[in-house]
Amino acid sequence: MAAFETLLSPVILFFVLGALAAAARSDLSVPEPLAKSLSLYLMAAIGLKGGVQVAEAGFTPQLLQVSAAGMALSFALPLLAFALLRGFAKLDRLNAGAVAAHYGSVSIVTFVTVSDALTRSNMAPAGFMVAVMALMETPAVITGLLLARGQGAVAGGSRTKLMREVLLNGSVVLLLGAFLIGLAIGKARFEPISPVFVTGFTGLLCLFLLDMGLIAMRRLRESRALSWRMAALGVILPLLNGAIGLAVAALLGLDPGTGAALAMLAASASYIAVPAAVRLALPDADPGIYLSMSLAVTFPFNILIGIPLLIQLAPLVLS
Partner 1 sequence: MIQTFTRQRIDILVDAPLCEWLTEQAVAAGILHHSILPVESGHGRAGAWRDEGFGTVPKRMFLALTNEAKVGALLDRIAPDIERYGLVVAIQDVRVMRGERF
Summarize as ranges the residues that interact with partner 1 (CB under 8 A). Answer: 29-30, 32-36, 39, 158, 161, 165, 211-212, 214-216, 218-219, 222-225, 271-272, 275-277, 279-280, 283-284, 286-288, 291, 295
**Which of 134, 132, 137 is CA-nearest to residue 63?**
132
Nearer CB in complex with partner 1: 188/224 = 224
283 binds, among its own copies, partner 1, Na ion, none (CB under 5 to 8 A by kind): partner 1
Within 8 A by CB and 6+ apart from 278, the residues are 98, 101, 102, 141, 144, 285, 287, 290
Nearer CB in complex with Na ion: 223/268 = 268
CB-facing half-sphere around the CA of 212: CA atoms within 13 A? 33
DSSP 206-247: HHHHHHHHHHHHHHHHH-TT--HHHHHHHHHHHHHHHHHHHH
The window from 5-13, 19-27, 181-189, 265-273 that contacts Na ion (CB under 5 A) reads 265-273
Contact 74, 101 (CB under 8 A): no
Nearer CB in complex with partner 1: 186/288 = 288
The least CB distance from residue 280 to partner 1, in Å, is: 5
DSSP 73-103: HHHHHHHHHHHHHHHTT---HHHHHHHHHHH
Distance CA 143, CA 97 (A): 8
Contact 264, 310 (CB under 8 A): yes
222 binds, among partner 1, Na ion, its own copies, none (CB under 5 to 8 A by kind): partner 1
Nearer CB in complex with partner 1: 43/295 = 295
Nearer CB in complex with its own copies: 116/226 = 116
In angstroms, the Cα distances linking 162 to 140, 142, 289 are 13, 10, 21
What letter does residue 168 receive in the DSSP assignment?
S
41 binds, among its own copies, Na ion, partner 1, none (CB under 5 to 8 A by kind): its own copies
Give the residues lining the site for its own copies (CB under 8 A): 8-10, 13-14, 17, 20-21, 24-34, 36-37, 40-41, 44, 48, 120, 164-165, 168-170, 173-174, 177-178, 181, 184-185, 189-190, 192-197, 199-200, 202-204, 206-207, 210
Which stretches of the chain bind Na ion, using CB under 5 A? 268
